Chains A and B, each alone.
Chain A
Amino acid sequence: MALMQYANKLAKTAVEQIPNGVYKASEALDNDGFSSEPIKITVSVRVSSDEITVDFLETSSSVQGNLNCPISVTAAAVYYVFSH
């Protein structure tokens, strides 16, 4: 438990160093193998004090092919970015 509290404190301290605001980025996958439409991945990162909200609302909706991403995998991608 102490280890997790320490990790939490380290993470919050690191987040506090980032200026408050909304940071946005967009990228696209070529297509899903069924249609030729690019698949947009847009992320808005809102930093407020020691908290961060990661918002994928403007990302393309699910596609016919097998590139859709369940919530746990989305979370994993976010964890990975913040651990680096």
Chain B
Amino acid sequence: MGAALRRSALSPNITDRLDFSCALFTNTGQLFGQAAHIPVHLGSMAYAMKDLVKKFAWEPKDVVIVNDPFMGGTHLPDVTVITPIFVDGSLAAFAATRAHHADIGCDSAGSMPLSSSIHQEGLLISPCYLSKGGAVVEETRNLLESRLKNPQNTYADIAAQVSANSRGVAELKNLLVAMGYLASRTR
């Protein structure tokens, strides 16, 4: 997942500075697999996923986005993308990535201003669908575009996170096939 994210992203925050993390969670949001990425990303995702996953009626091809520090986020540039993993029609697990974006719409240049209010630090995204059943949720896209200075690049890096999650979904299914829990490859 991490290699896919690094290769697909545009921002040097992700491609060179490697400020991103990937993990897999059970269908109740309990962490069961993590890469050796950023400890503060992984620990805070692990702390919050149980509450986050309860907030949605998950369906195949949904993707949820969040950066709210009061809902398990870190700081606003760290955007989390969560993809459910369905096996034989039932919710089995989640793939999640968190990455530090170069532009989250803060008041000054860069992603971390000297600020005294969280709203000076950029766009606060409460947990919401980035896509629902495979279709882009325009409301969320508009929300991002309303505040970001360079929405195209940030959106591209969010898409890279979605791709990384898809890789996690596919590889977990491959593992289930290899272990004999799934009859055939069902990507």
A interface residues (Cβ-Cβ under 8 A, vs B): 3-4, 33-34, 64-66, 70-73, 75-80, 83
User: Known: A77-B43, A79-B43, A80-B39. Contact between A65 and B114, CB under 8 A?
Assistant: yes
The residue in chain A whose Cβ has the minimal distance to the Cβ of B31 is A4
- Say whether B47 faces chain A, with CB atoms less than 8 Å apart: yes
How many contacting A-B pairs (Cβ < 8 A)? 62
Tell me whether A33 and B32 are in contact (CB under 8 A).
no
The residue in chain A whose Cβ has the minimal distance to the Cβ of B121 is A66
Contact of B75 among A65, A66, A75 (CB under 8 A): A66
The residue in chain B whose Cβ has the minimal distance to the Cβ of A70 is B69
Smallest CB separation, B81 vs chain A (Å): 17
- Say whether B40 faces chain A, with CB atoms less than 8 Å apart: yes
The 8 A CB mask of B95-123 against A (1 = contact, 0 = none) is: 00000000000000000111110100100
- Say whether B144 faces chain A, with CB atoms less than 8 Å apart: no
User: Known: A66-B75, A73-B69. Contact between A34 and B116, CB under 8 A?
Assistant: yes
Chain B residues positioned under 8 Å from A80 (CB to CB) = 39-40, 43
Other than the given A70-B70, A75-B44, 10 more pairs (CB < 8 A) read A64-B116, A66-B115, A72-B44, A72-B48, A72-B72, A75-B46, A76-B47, A77-B40, A79-B47, A80-B39
